[in-house]
Amino acid sequence: MSTYQHRWWGGESIDLPNAKAVCVGRNYAAHAKELNNPIPSQPLLFIKPSSAMVAMVPNFVVPDDLGECHIETEISLLVGRQLRNATAADTEAAIIGVGLAYDLTLRDLQGELKHNGHPWERAKSFDGALALSEFVVREDCPPFNELSLSLNLNDRLQQVGSVAQMLWSPMDLLAEISRSFTLEPGDVVLTGTPAGVTALHKGDQLAATLCSRWTANSEVL
């Protein structure tokens, strides 16, 4: 059973359940290109269960016997109230926190599953497949269209991205998601990863930064 709990930046517990995470694939054109995937005509959605959630800091574990485990750094949004069949204008008030996430992907296994026409859950939704930072209170963040992220891996800049580079904005994503999956308080939405995904190795040192201000430091175990 996962011991993960949503927390505000600084460590205070958030009184919300650990619900599902709805993730968006290929929301950055450059990332789709680096994996030789076509740019989608609508958001590609998949779900990670609450059992996949672990704290990003101070460390997290990656599987060592299932092929390469890739890291995909993303801006995450914490939902504070229910959204169903929402418009983009409705969604902004439902987001109460902004954070960072590592969407961990067993890339070799994912490739095998895709080749056989099978679902991706074994490669995307395993225990520990979603490392989450603490959340910054929404009112303390820049406007949604100014959000950005970066990842340094072993003191080398690995990923950089911003909302301006996304194919679909966070508000459009939430509206689209809410037409397929009701979003509940405690749900987390991952908004896609920029180019620069790479395999992780035990002992790697990670520093993910939100809006050049909030940094989460991690070690891979």
CATH number reported for the structural domain that contains residue 215 in this entry: 3.90.850.10
Q: Is residue 15 in some structural domain?
A: no
Q: Is residue 5 in some structural domain?
A: no
Separation CA 156–CA 104 (nearest Å): 19
Split at pLDDT 50, 70, 90, the class of 30 is low
- What pLDDT, on a 0 to 100 scale, did the predictor assign at position 83? 97
- What pLDDT, on a 0 to 100 scale, did the predictor assign at position 40? 76
Q: Domain of 54?
A: 21-220
pLDDT of residue 1 exceeding 60, the answer is no
- What pLDDT, on a 0 to 100 scale, did the predictor assign at position 175? 96
For the chain, report the end-to-end CA distance as a whole number of angstroms.
Answer: 19
Q: Is residue 7 in some structural domain?
A: no
Segment 182-200 shows an average pLDDT of: 96
The Cα angle at residue 200 between residues 194 and 205, in degrees rounded to 5: 90
Token output for 74: 């993303």
Give the distance, in angstroms, between the CA of residue 106 and the centroid of all CA atoms in the same chain.
15
Q: What is the pLDDT of residues 195-215, one digit of tens each?
A: 999 999 999 999 999 999 999
Q: Is residue 16 in some structural domain?
A: no
- What pLDDT, on a 0 to 100 scale, did the predictor assign at position 89? 86
Separation CA 49–CA 195 (nearest Å): 25
According to DSSP H, which parts of the chain are helical?
A: 29-34, 88-91, 107-115, 121-124, 170-178
Q: What is the pLDDT of residues 109-119, one digit of tens each?
A: 999 999 999 99
Q: Is residue 14 in some structural domain?
A: no
Segment 187-202 shows an average pLDDT of: 96
- Total domains in the chain come to 1
Q: Is residue 48 in some structural domain?
A: yes
- What pLDDT, on a 0 to 100 scale, did the predictor assign at position 157? 98
Q: Is residue 13 in some structural domain?
A: no
